[in-house]
A and B are shown apart, each in its own frame.
Chain A
Amino acid sequence: MPAPVPSEGLAGSEKLAGGKSKAELRAERRAKQEADRALKQTKKVESTPAAALAKPRLQPSEPQSMVKRVPEHVQVDDPAAQKRLAKKLERQQVPLRPDYGAKVNLFSHLHQYSRKMPLTQQMSIPSTAIHPAVVRLGLQYSQGLLNGSNARCLALLQVFRQVIRDYSTPPNEELSRDLVARLKPYISFLNQCRPLSASMGNAIKYLKKEISGLSSTLREEEAKGKLQGSIDGYVREKIQLAAEAISKYAFEKISDGDVILVYGCSSLVSRTLCDAHANGRAFRVIVVDSRPRLEGRDTLRRLVRKGIRCTYVMITAISYMLPEVSKVLLGAHALLANGSVMSRVGTSQIALVSKAYNVPVLVCCETYKFCERVQTDSFVSNELDDPDDLILPGKGGAHLRGWKENSSLRLLNLVYDVTPPELVDLVITDLGMIPCTSVPVVLRVKNVEQ
């Protein structure tokens, strides 16, 4: 509303109805503009860094809806996205890993790397841009020495703990902002070595939130100690205690005389079975395995060492084994917001065939692996492993060895697949035993807590 007219103007003038001359109105408008500008300036100075970071995200769209960007790692066939990625990596001094070999058309939007061309080829040997512990971790991921959702996340947190310990704030910088900026190139590097898993993504989100939430009054040593404490707390609560809780809940579901079918290698499922055996349940296990990873051998190793009776078959034999199975216990890489289970490739087949034989399918998953993504098929977002892994060593692989020269031959080594929620009967989490459809509720509750 316009400011009230000054009394002298009202008394003395006869020019306009409002009692002010045009020049005076203009001056008034200018004064109002200056006042608004000054107000905006003070608001900008007062605002916290978190709010400043939050603002640009809301700016490009209306205040109500958020624009969801398709992540770059599933846009490999879009040259503009790849150029953006290359520019970002160059800025962060992280080398770009080249793709390898011809891809199957349906998966041409995903990266496919070769294990024989590691990222370290393009980096200097005493690595300066990237912390040496992160380089080591990235190498272990890309060479396949660290496998398994929990193991990768634990190793990641361990390395970040070391990074925080070795970190020192440069002068004129705030720890809460500089440390996040320091971690970004490391995360890009690890992403180039091997796409991040959902568990790692959630852990990184938590860590970034903790760092940004540090109050600026803390000294550097106290802040670092607090961060390391929160990492330890996360590991203890979300991973170790969660595993104990899941083990206890699952124990109720395992009865004497059961025949349990497991697939591949899930640290959680192995631990559950070992605990159940230690607590006196009598059951036997059928371990199902598949090429090329042959991870079931590791489950077999762990179970047999504890004295559990095991049978070992390949996935091609499950329809012969299922008539004698009483329940199927599966691990998960991530649980998606629509209740689908993302797990090692082959899990959805096991769930499908189990449904056909009316065998209950139970999935064990900690809540920190719950993901807000929604996926209805396995094509949209997946990971392509090194295609040369499919070639048998020795004489058996003679036919496939020249696959690159053959233009009509493509090798596909998928890592994950998505099991629809109708095929899963129960999800055992650290919050209890929930049906698949309750996953969005858990996610909502988690968001409210945060």
Chain B
Amino acid sequence: MEFQAVVMAAGGGSRMMDLTSSIPKPLLPVGNKPLIWYPLNLLERIGFEEVIVVTTKEVQKLLNLDTKMKLDIVCIPDDADMGTADSIRHIHQKIKTDVLVLSCDLITDVALHEVVDLFRAHDATLSMLMKKAHEPTEMVPGQKGKKKPVEQRDFIGVDDTGKRLLFMANEADLDEELVIKRSLLQKHPRMHIRTGLADAHLYCLKKYVVDFLAENRSLTSIRSELIPYLVRKQFSSPASLRQRQDNKEQDQKKDQKSLDIFSYVKGDSLLEFAPDKSCWNSHSADLNEAFHGGKVRCYVHIMKEGLCYRVNTLGLYIEANRQVPKLLPALVCPEEPLVHVFAQVTDRGLVGSDSIIGSSTQVGEKTSIKHSIIGSMCTIKDRVKITNCIIMNSVTIEEGCSLQSCLICHNAVIEKGADLRDCLIGSSQRLEPKSKHVNEVIVGSEQLMEI
């Protein structure tokens, strides 16, 4: 077997507490499908038959997906604060080949063979996916005034071909300057540094990296610790002889196993098998052999066009919901209509062509629905105007309401005549009749306490 797929669904969604306090992040509905359906659909489409899903017990109870793949759901205890690397360590017994790690909040239509081919052809240690990030343009409910500045930037250095990942640093880890090693510049004199790239959290890792993680317990998160470590190690040599002599006494005392990735690297690469016979080299500027003899290689595929969202903030969640009606017909096979067959819509003409309506939803007369996503088992009475909204399951909207750009969570009830704009209504909330709210977040008091 060539690859095993692992989907990380244990994260908490800490940047969208308004939503995730009541619904766990992997189950947040996007286009009326749970968020975790999208990465699983991607894996199914490209031909995976088995997936390991790492998640919490809460999610496992509520997870109900119809998929042809065999899902191996591994629960991690709720109270243990485990990072993604810790989760991999937890399941490392199950991992027997190279592994493809995905995050549960990835919605993308990338041709995954681009990432995997880089991994295969260059015999890489790591291969990942990135896309040029664009600012979400939608108004996010609850944000007053100008938008907050984006979180700390990432500096990504790639070589001339744009495929080899040379440098990665986050603004948060740097004081005032960007430090670049001389060994890196000697081997790759031309490097392009880019900011504004969004990491899709999709990684192809070699099996020996998993073995290394199992032994090295100091790394907790894949993205913030393991990946920068691997990128750095590309240009550092294995522990030099001199250093080893110095540490010999200490080693004899402690009898420590080497925690350096180089001791785990298995060299069965075809490219290094007969280097004096092949007439290819990765660079042309100097006399060194291919890859400068480096054993660790990291590659990145930067998407130029197509969709790639990581739904981890409210703004991105809303943006994903906007884009999903265009994406869904390509993903689901056989094609499902956007308006569900079991939905009862009185005035079909007033429902926009890119709106999604879930099953068993009743929509009354003279109700217009444009650019919106409505979940299942909702009851929407007459003369309601819904524009640009995201409405989850089992919501009741009484007559005469007008909702614009709102996000309404499960089981909410909006009484007659309410007029809402740019609001977020938490689950099971009940709004009074004729209430008027603009740009507010209305959640229950118990949810407020979480923060």
CA–CA, A151 to B112, complex, Å? 29
**Residues of the A chain whose Cβ atoms lie less than 8 Å from the Cβ of B280:** 144-148, 298
Q: Which of A18-26, A277-285, A301-309 contacts B (4 or more CB under 8 A)?
A: A301-309
Closest B-chain residue to A140, C-beta based? B121
Question: B120, A125: Cβ atoms under 8 Å?
Answer: no
Cα distance, A144 to B278, chains bound together (Å): 10
Q: Does residue A9 face the partner (Cβ distance < 8 Å to B)? A: no
Identify B117's interface contact among A124, A139, A151, CB under 8 A.
Answer: A139
- CA distance in complex: A17, B146 (Å): 123
Over the window 50-94 of chain A, the binary record of Cβ atoms lying under 8 Å from chain B Cβ atoms (1 yes, 0 no) is: 000000000000000000000000000000000000000000000
Interface flag for B178 (CB, 8 Å) = no
* In the complex, chain B residues whose CB is within 8 Å of the CB of A128: 47
Question: Which residues does chain A contribute within 8 Å of B2, judged by CB atoms?
Answer: 125-127, 132, 135
Which of B239-247, B266-274, B304-312 participates in binding chain A?
A: B266-274
Closest to A298 in B: B279
Q: Which candidate, A153-161, A401-409, A432-440, is the interface stretch facing chain B?
A: A153-161
Is A318 an interface residue, CB under 8 A from the partner?
no
Contacts of A302 in B (CB 8 A): 276
Q: Is the CB of B117 within 8 A of A118?
A: yes
**A121 at interface by CB-CB < 8 Å:** yes
Q: With A and B bound together, what is the CA distance between A301 and B284 in angstroms?
A: 9
Q: Is there a chain A Cβ closer than 8 Å to B172's Cβ?
A: no
Q: Are the C-beta atoms of A147 and B276 separated by less than 8 Å? A: no
Q: Is the CB of A120 within 8 A of B116?
A: yes
Residue A244 at the chain B interface, CB threshold 8 Å? no
Q: Is A267 an interface residue (CB 8 A)?
A: yes
B276 near A159 with CB under 8 A, answer no
Q: B46 contacts the other chain (Cβ, under 8 Å)?
A: yes
B281-A298 in contact (CB<8A): yes
B287 in contact with A301 (CB, 8 Å): yes
Give the most central of B111, B276, B277, B280: most A CB within 10 Å.
B277
**Is the beta-carbon distance between A126 and B279 smaller than 8 angstroms?**
no
Instruction: Check A297/B278 contact, CB under 8 A, given A125-B48, A126-B2.
Output: no
Interface code B229-264, partner A: CB below 8 Å = 1, 0 otherwise? Answer: 000000000000000000000000000000000000
The A-B contact count (CB < 8 A) is: 101
Known: A143-B121, A155-B273. A126 touches B113 (CB 8 A): no
B3 within 8 A of A: yes
Q: Can you name the residue of chain A whose Cβ is closest to the Cβ of B276?
A: A267
| A389 is an interface residue with CB less than 8 A from chain B | no
- Assuming the contacts A118-B113, A144-B280, A305-B287, asked whether A124 and B47 have C-beta atoms less than 8 A apart, the reply is yes
The residues in A between 281 and 301 inclusive whose CB is less than 8 angstroms from any CB of B are 294-295, 297-299, 301
Cβ contacts B30-58/A at 8 Å (1 or 0 each): 00000000000000001111000000000
CB distance from A171 to the nearest CB of B (A): 21
Asked if B287 and A150 make an inter-chain contact with CB atoms under 8 angstroms apart, the answer reads no
Q: Is B48 in contact with A139, judged by CB distance below 8 angstroms?
A: no
Question: Residue of A at shortest CB range from B47?
Answer: A124
B104-126: which residues lie under 8 A (CB-CB) from chain A?
111-113, 116-117, 120-123
Tell me if A136 is interfacial: C-beta within 8 Å of chain B: yes
Decide if A139 touches B279 in the complex (CB within 8 Å).
Answer: no
A226 at the interface (CB under 8 A from B): no
- Whether B449 sits at the interface, judged by CB under 8 Å, is no
Q: In the assembly, what is the distance between CA of A139 and CA of B113, in Å?
A: 11
Q: B279 to chain A: which residues have CB within 8 Å?
A: 147-148, 151, 264-265, 267, 295, 298-299
Q: Give the CA-CA distance A295 to B279 in the complex, in Å.
A: 6
B1 interface residue, CB < 8 Å from A?
A: yes
Q: How far is the CB of A432 from chain B (nearest CB, A)?
A: 23
Q: Are B113 and A125 in contact (CB under 8 A)?
A: yes
A297 near B284: Cβ-Cβ < 8 Å? yes
Closest approach, in angstroms, between the C-beta of A371 and any C-beta of chain B?
A: 20
CB B177 to nearest CB in A, in angstroms, measures 31
The one of A136, A154, A299, A304 that contacts B287, using a Cβ cutoff of 8 Å? A304
Please tell me which one of the listed residues B49, B120, B122, B276 contacts residue A135 in the complex, with CB atoms under 8 A apart. Answer: B120
| Binary per-residue interface labels of chain B (380-401) against chain A in the complex, 1 for a CB within 8 Å, 0 otherwise | 0000000000000000000000
Docked-complex contact B278 and A146, CB < 8 angstroms: yes
Instruction: Specify the main secondary structure of chain B where it touches its partner.
Output: loop
Q: In the complex, what residues of A have CB within 8 A of residue B113's CB?
A: 118, 120-121, 123, 125
On whether the beta carbons of B270 and A126 are closer than 8 Å, the reply is no
For A128, give the chain B residue with the smallest CB separation. Answer: B47
Instruction: Determine the distance from Cα of A360 to Cα of B287 in the docked complex, in whole angstroms.
Output: 30
In whole angstroms, what is the CA distance A29 to B223 when docked? 87
Does the CB pair B270–A158 fall under 8 Å?
yes
CA distance A437 to B100 in the complex (A): 56
CA distance A85 to B116 in the complex (A): 28
Contacts of B121 in A (CB 8 A): 136, 139-140, 143, 145
Q: Residues of A contacting B276 with CB < 8 Å?
A: 267, 270-271, 302
Whole-angstrom distance between the Cβ of A263 and the nearest chain B Cβ = 12
Verify B112–A154 contact, CB threshold 8 A. Answer: no
Complex CA gap A148/B281 in Å reads 12
Taking a contact as CB atoms under 8 Å apart, the answer to whether B278 and A151 are in contact is yes
What chain A residues lie within 8 Å of B281 (beta carbons)? 297-298, 301
| Bound-state Cα–Cα, A415 to B91, Å | 49
Chain A residues closer than 8 Å to B4, beta-carbon distance: 126
User: Is A418 engaged at the interface, CB distance under 8 Å to the other chain?
Assistant: no
Q: Residue of B at shortest CB range from A162?
A: B268
Residue A342 lies at the interface, judged by CB distance under 8 Å to chain B: no
Q: Is the CB of B47 within 8 A of A148?
A: no
For A361, list chain B residues within 8 Å (CB): none
A137 within 8 A of B: yes
CB-based contact A125/B46 at 8 Å:
yes
Q: How far is the CB of A302 from chain B (nearest CB, A)?
A: 7
Q: How many whole Å from A235's CB to the nearest CB in chain B? A: 10
Within 8 A of A (CB), among B1-28: 1-4
Q: Which of B1, B46, B47, B277 contacts A154 (CB 8 A)?
A: B277
Residues in B neighbouring A264, C-beta threshold 8 A:
279
A149 to chain B, nearest CB (A): 9
- Which residues of A have CB within 8 Å of B117? 118, 120, 139, 143
In the assembled complex, the Cα of A127 lies from the Cα of B2 at a distance in Å of: 7
Query: In the docked arrangement, what's the CA distance between A304 and B289, Å?
Result: 13
Which one of B1, B111, B122, B270 lies within 8 Å of A137 (CB-CB)? B270
Closest Cβ of chain A to B16, distance in Å, is 31
Assess whether A125 is in contact with B3, with CB atoms less than 8 Å apart.
yes
Q: Are B120 and A158 closer than 8 Å at their CB atoms?
A: no
The answer to whether A155 touches B48 (Cβ under 8 A) is no
- Report the bound CA distance from A136 to B270 in whole Å: 9
Using Cβ atoms and an 8 Å threshold, which residues of chain A touch B284? 294, 297
Q: How many angstroms between the C-alpha atoms of A139 and B271 in the bound complex?
A: 12
Task: Flag if B270 contacts A125 (CB, 8 Å).
Answer: no
Decide yes or no: A151 and B277 within 8 Å by CB, A118-B117, A145-B121 being known contacts. yes
How far apart sit A121 and B2, CA to CA, in the bound complex (Å)?
16
Q: Which 9 A-B pairs have the closest CB atoms?
A: A124-B47, A265-B279, A151-B278, A132-B2, A151-B277, A267-B277, A139-B121, A125-B46, A126-B3
Inter-chain pairs besides A146-B278, A147-B280, 16 sampled, C-beta below 8 Å: A121-B113, A123-B47, A124-B46, A125-B48, A125-B113, A126-B2, A126-B48, A136-B120, A140-B121, A143-B117, A147-B278, A151-B278, A154-B273, A155-B274, A158-B273, A298-B279
What are 17 A-to-B residue pairs whose CB atoms are below 8 Å?
A120-B113, A120-B116, A124-B46, A125-B2, A126-B1, A132-B2, A139-B120, A140-B270, A145-B121, A146-B270, A146-B280, A148-B277, A150-B277, A154-B274, A267-B279, A298-B279, A305-B287
Q: B residues near A, CB below 8 A?
A: 1-4, 46-49, 100, 111-113, 116-117, 120-123, 270-271, 273-274, 276-281, 284, 287
| Chain A residues with a Cβ under 8 A of chain B | 118, 120-121, 123-128, 132, 135-137, 139-140, 143-148, 150-151, 154-155, 158-159, 264-265, 267, 270-271, 294-295, 297-299, 301-302, 304-305
